[in-house]
Amino acid sequence: MADYKDKVRKLLAEKDSPPLCCLHSFGCQQNVSDGEKILGMLCEMGYGVTDDINSADLIIYNTCAVRENAELKIYGLIGNLKHLKENNTELIIGVCGCMAQQEQVVEKIRKTYKQVDLIFGTFAVQELPRLLYEVLTERKTAVDITEYSGVISEEIQPVRSGNIKASVPIMYGCNNFCSYCIVPYVRGRERSREPEAVLNEVRELAAAGYKEIMLLGQNVNSYGKNLDTPMTFAELLRRINEIDGDFKVRFMSPHPKDATKELIDAIIECDKVCKHMHLPLQSGSDRILEAMNRRYTAEKYMSIVDYARSRIPDFSFSTDIIVGFPNETEEDFAATLEIMRRVKYDNIFSFIYSKRTGTKAALMEDKTSDEDKSRRMRELLELQREISTEHFKRFVGRTLTVLFDAETKNEGIYSGKSDEFIIVEAKADPSVIGQRKQVKITKAFNWALQGEIIN
């Protein structure tokens, strides 16, 4: 890789002015994290960075394939680049990420979107210098969707998008094959990073002053099973907790089937780990959970929630829910609403089921109408609004720890996330950005809290 990086660097140095690249990452945080590595390589090779496609010499879309509408949006964006390419034949257009790991997508791009010069899948991130060199020297379309083994190279230094929060991948891939999900097909089997590599990265980030570290993986609590010296995710959390620094830790996403008391105990006992868990439910119906191949029941899910709340009554949960999985009945849907009422999530991410070619669920006959699916989605959102309105009230009068990271559109009002992962707004001055403050909550909305900074 180093060879090709040097070769590209030399080629770019010959240009009249330093070239600019524009990278857009879509989808989950894992993809955003891959994007940071891609940007790291591009900068090393001599590219400057711009957000504006019109002034870029290289445009890369780092794509998401998890739902059909994500893919349609990307096709639209690639289509829109045609005129840019016509006006500037030197422009290089790349497509990478989860869409680019699927053969039928790559075929379609090559046939329909001739303006694309570079296609590489999730396994080939470290191959970018070679591919770029091929495009620059041979002006041909370079494609690499090989399923390389191993993790993304440890040598690549990411270029991070901010200096307050950072993501650290701890594992790649997924072994679960939930029947609706394309991820195991585009990101391969689980591979964990060595604990020392993770710990070193966290140490560096803590030393650099990052205030929040998000550990990433498709199934974080399956971390470490395939290491030469296995280590559980709970142990990894405890090791990270020992690192010096003024930072907190979050993680995304654990799988309910692998959630153990040991994990909850570690979260509770580690002072740097936020007492919040994003625990994807997907459905509250055992029948649907089985058809989804989730390998837990609603009661097993509730036992995790109940255990966490028995130790910390305010332990916060958020979740992902799929509405309208093939043949979801009104009863199945009612079971999902029932779990929502029992858990009282602080936040949910809900998706209408999207058929993904190549998955098991794509072969299932589906008699549920689109109207029913949309109606259920509206009902679910309505219920969540009621739950959060009611549930957020518990914080009024109490003091929460909030990491501020943005100014709102109202001048002088800043926002951040509490340790519970709830949006909190308060009056402050710009120096509050990047600071963790104690905020006394004065008002609850259904989407956020408002308060006053007390110190």
- Which is it for strands 171-172 and 118-120: parallel, antiparallel or unpaired? unpaired
Nearer to ligand 5AD, 282 or 450 (CB): 282
CB of 383 to ligand SF4, least distance (A): 23
Nearer to ligand 5AD, 135 or 281 (CB): 281
- Phi, then psi, of 325 in degrees rounded to 5: -60, 150
DSSP 77-121: HHHHTHHHHHH-TT-EEEEEESGGG-HHHHHHHHHH-TT--EEE-
CB 381 within 8 A of CB 332: no
Find which of ligand SF4, ligand 5AD, none residue 218 binds, CB within 5 to 8 Å per kind. ligand SF4
Find which of ligand SF4, ligand 5AD, none residue 177 binds, CB within 5 to 8 Å per kind. ligand SF4
CB of 175 to ligand SF4, least distance (A): 8
Nearer to ligand SF4, 295 or 311 (CB): 295
Find which of ligand SF4, ligand 5AD, none residue 184 binds, CB within 5 to 8 Å per kind. ligand SF4
**Cross-strand partners of 23:** 60
Nearer to ligand SF4, 27 or 94 (CB): 27
CB of 350 to ligand 5AD, least distance (A): 8
Task: By CB under 6 A, name the binding residues for ligand SF4.
Answer: 174, 176-178, 181, 183-184, 218-219, 255
CA 26 from centroid of its chain's CA atoms:
9
Q: Which two tokens stand for residue 422?
A: 């709830």
Find which of ligand 5AD, ligand SF4, none residue 47 binds, CB within 5 to 8 Å per kind. none
Find which of ligand SF4, ligand 5AD, none residue 447 binds, CB within 5 to 8 Å per kind. none
Residue 60 CA to residue 77 CA, distance in Å, equals 11
CB of 348 to ligand 5AD, least distance (A): 10
Taking each continuous run of H as one helix and of E as one strand, the counts in the chain are: 14, 19
Residue 452: strand, helix, or coil: strand
Find which of ligand 5AD, ligand SF4, none residue 320 binds, CB within 5 to 8 Å per kind. ligand 5AD
CB 41 within 8 A of CB 129: yes
CB 346 within 8 A of CB 387: no
CB of 55 to ligand SF4, least distance (A): 36
Residue 267 CA to residue 269 CA, distance in Å, equals 6
Task: By CB under 6 A, name the binding residues for ligand 5AD.
Answer: 66-67, 180-181, 280, 282, 320, 322, 351, 353-354, 356
Handedness of CA 49, 54, 55, 56 (dihedral sign): positive
